[in-house]
Structure 1
C-alpha cells in the first residue's frame, strides 16, 4: 500500500515538465525512504535521476517496495487537472493496475479523483559510481538557462571550459560564434561554499542585531524586550488634570513608574514624562511576532539553496574542457522552476553531472560528452 500526500501539486507538475521531453515511459520506484526515478533517453546519451524524500511529504506510507510504471505524457495530462496549490494525494494498492491521484482544493470543499493506468516497464537500475570530479561550478539556475538558450540559437554544441579565469561557454555555428565567460565572485564563494554538502543555510543577521548601538532610553524598555512573554506598553492619558494609567493584564510596574506616581502633584513634569514616553515608544515600534522582533525572511529557495544573485563559485582541481549537446542542456535547464541554483560537475572523459536541489529532494542529469569535437 502506497499513500503519499504532497502540500502542493505544483511540485509534481514542475518535476514532470523537467523530464517529460527526455523520457517517455519510466518506473517510479517507491519504498520507505521515498520515491525515486531513474531513466535514460531513447538515444542513451542522457540519464535522469530523481529522488523525492519521504520526509518531504505531509504524510507518507509505503508498506513494501512498489514500482509504478507510467507514461509521463499521460501523467502530465492528469496533473494539469490540478491547481498549483491543491493538496495532491497519490495512492496505489498492492498489485493494483491503476494509480489514484486526488486533488483537494484549499479554498473550497472540491475534491477531484483521477485514476491513471499503470504499465509494465522492463528497466534496469544503473549503478552510478561515486566520482571525484575535477571541476565543480555552482551558479544561478537562471543564468545557466539564459546561456544555453542563447547559444542554442547559434549552434548545436557548446564547449564548457573551467579554468582559473572562470567558466566559459562557447558555441561555434555556421553563421555566428559566441562565448560567455563567468568569473568567480567573492560573495558567491561565501554563499555556495557549503552548498551540496550541508542543506542547512547559515542563519541571516536579524534586523534587531544592530540595536546595541542605540542609546538605552529606560530600564523598563530593556526588560520589556527581554521578557519571554513581552510586556505591554502602559498608556497614559490626562483625565481631570491628572495622568491616568491604563494597562492590560500581566503588566509589571517598574520602579521608574512608581517614582512617577509620587510626582503626580506637578502637572508640568507629568506632561514632560508623557511626551518622553511617547517619543521612546516611537523608537520601539517594530514589527513583532509573539513579543519578539520580526526576523528577515530567509534568502534562497527551497532546500537551503542560496538566493539567485548572479554569483558563481568554482572548485577546481585541474583544467577541464568538454563539449556537449545544447539540445540536452536546454532540457536540463527546465529544472530552474524547481531550484534557484544549479551545480555542474565535470571530469575528463566522464559524463557531465547537472544537479538541482530543492526542498523535497534532488534531480540529477548525466550527459555524455561529445568525442572528437574538443
Structure 2
C-alpha cells in the first residue's frame, strides 16, 4: 500500500514497507510479520519450489518479474520526469527480466533503449528481444563513454548479473559494468546489484551503488539496510500505516498527528495514563513530502483503522484535509487506477498535553529480536501479572511468578551470528533489576511487525523505554514506569 497525505498545508506520500512500493515477481512473498533475507541457497530453493511445486514456467516468472520491475521504476522515476532510460541486460535470467521490463516501460510511455552485449542463443530470449524491437525499443550496439551517458539517458536499469554471478567480470561485459558504476545516473538494480555477493553485499573495491533495488520473490541478504544504505527498496508487504495503527490501537482510542517540515509525530498517554506512546515518521522517509504550514489532525483511531481496512494492500492511499477543516478524506486507488474509492472521516479537537521527555543516559541497553521479545512477554504473562527484567554481566533474565508457579528465561549476549537481526546485544554500565506490568509489555509487542529488533533501555527509578525502529522512516517508542513494591509497615 502506498500512503499519501494532502492538505493545503501538507503533502506527503510514503511507500509501503521500507521506502518502496508493492512489488513481487509472483509466487511466494516474504513475510509481512518480519522481514526475512534469503541466502543464496534459499533463493535457489525458492526458485525450485516455484518450478516444481507450483508449476511456474521460466517465461511466466520472467514476465511477472519484468512487469514488477517496470512498475517499481514507474513509481520512483515516472516518465513525466524521467522519460529516457537505458536497460543494461546480461546473458542470464536477470537479463531476461530486463528485456520484459523494457517492453512494459515502452508501453508506460518511456523512451527505452537496451544494451545487450552478450545475447543468449535460446528461443525464449530471442523472442523477448524480437518483442522489444516490435514495440519500438531501441537496441544499442555500442555504449558511449560513461561520462556521456547522461547526455542521452536520465536513469539506468541494471539487469546485468543476478544471484548466480561469480567474479571476475568477463571482458565483453566490462563496459556494461563500468557504465553502471561510473555514469553518475540513478541506477535501478533488479534483484541483486550487479557484481555484489548475494550474502555479503558489495565486496569489490569499486562497487555499484544503486539508487533503487527491486527484490524479486523475496529479498536476498545483500538487500539488508546496512548494504543498500540510502537506496529505495521495493518488495512485497502491507502498509506501514496499518502496522502503526495495530501497534497503538490497544493503548490509544484517539490521538493527534502533528505534521511539520520534519515529518509526522504523535505523542499520547494510554487510556489509563500508565504508559506513554511516542511515534516519529521523518519527512525524508516519505516518497513525497511537503508541509507549508504546521497542521494537527485529531483522529479516532478505531474509525481510522476501519477505513484503512477498506484499502487493498496494493492500493495508493491519499489523505486529504484542508486548513482548519473538520473532516479528512481517504482516497484509495488500485495500481492500475481502474478503481478509486473515497471515505470521509470527522476530525476531533483533542486537547492533549505534550510531555517533555528528558534525554536520559541508561544503565542498561538490550537489543534482541522483536519476535523473541514478543514470545517472552506472551509466555511469562501466563504465570503472573508482573515481569521482572534483570540485566547483569551474565546477560538478561526475564522472570514471572504467580499461582501456578514461576518461570525464568535467560538470554546471553550473542558472541557471533551471521544475521544481525537475530543477535542479542547487551550494553551495561551497572546492573539493573526492575518490575513491569505484563499487560502493557504485551501491548507494546504489537509493534513487532514494524521492526526485526527491539531495544530495551533501563535505569533505576526511571521508565523503561521499548523502542522499535521503523527502517528508513522513523521509530515508535513506549515508556512504562516500573512497579514499586510496597514495603511492609
Partner of 2:379: 150
Partner of 1:260: none
Determine which of 232, 243, 249 is the counterpart of 1:14. 243
What is the Cα-based RMSD across aligned positions, in Å? 1.6
> Distance between the aligned counterparts of 1:6 and 1:369, measured in 2?
36
Partner of 1:370: 483
1:113: how far off?
1.5
Report SS of the residue matched to 1:333: helix
Q: Cα distance 1:371–1:108, how it changes in 2: closer, same or farther (>3 A)?
A: same
Q: Cα distance 1:373–1:154, how it changes in 2: closer, same or farther (>3 A)?
A: farther
Alignment pair present for 1:313 and 2:321:
no
1:108: how far off?
4.9
1:105: how far off?
1.6
Deviations 1:233-264 (A, max 9, x none): xxxxxxxxxxxxxxxxxxxxxxxxxxxxxxxx
CA contact (8 A) 1:7 1:86 kept: no
Alignment pair present for 1:88 and 2:317:
yes
Partner of 2:364: 135
Alignment pair present for 1:48 and 2:277:
yes
1:373: how far off?
6.7
1:3: how far off?
2.3
Report SS of the residue matched to 2:303: helix
> Distance between the aligned counterparts of 1:62 and 1:318, measured in 2?
44
1:94: how far off?
0.7
Partner of 1:348: 460
1:6: how far off?
2.4
Alignment pair present for 1:5 and 2:13:
yes
1:109: how far off?
2.2
Partner of 1:109: 338
Partner of 2:444: 332
> Distance between the aligned counterparts of 1:21 and 1:113, measured in 2?
26
CA contact (8 A) 1:3 1:92 kept: no
1:318: how far off?
0.2
Moved over 3 A (4+): none
Partner of 2:46: none
Partner of 2:191: none
Aligned ranges for residues 31-70 of structure 1 at < 5 Å? 31-70=260-299
> Distance between the aligned counterparts of 1:152 and 1:3, measured in 2?
43
Aligned ranges for residues 198-217 of structure 1 at < 5 Å? none
Structure 2: unaligned runs, 5 residues or longer = 1-8, 17-237
Q: Cα distance 1:314–1:373, how it changes in 2: closer, same or farther (>3 A)?
A: farther
> Distance between the aligned counterparts of 1:373 and 1:53, measured in 2?
42
Structure 1: unaligned runs, 5 residues or longer = 192-298, 300-305
> Distance between the aligned counterparts of 2:329 and 2:285, measured in 1?
20
Alignment pair present for 1:159 and 2:388:
yes
Report SS of the residue matched to 1:187: coil
Give the number of the structure with larger relative contact order, counting CA–CA contacts within 8 Å between residues 6 or more apart.
1
1:92: how far off?
1.4
1:62: how far off?
1.5
TM-score (norm 2): 0.51
> Distance between the aligned counterparts of 1:131 and 1:371, measured in 2?
20
> Distance between the aligned counterparts of 2:486 and 2:476, measured in 1?
28
- Count of residue correspondences: 257
> Distance between the aligned counterparts of 1:99 and 1:373, measured in 2?
48
CA contact (8 A) 1:344 1:352 kept: yes
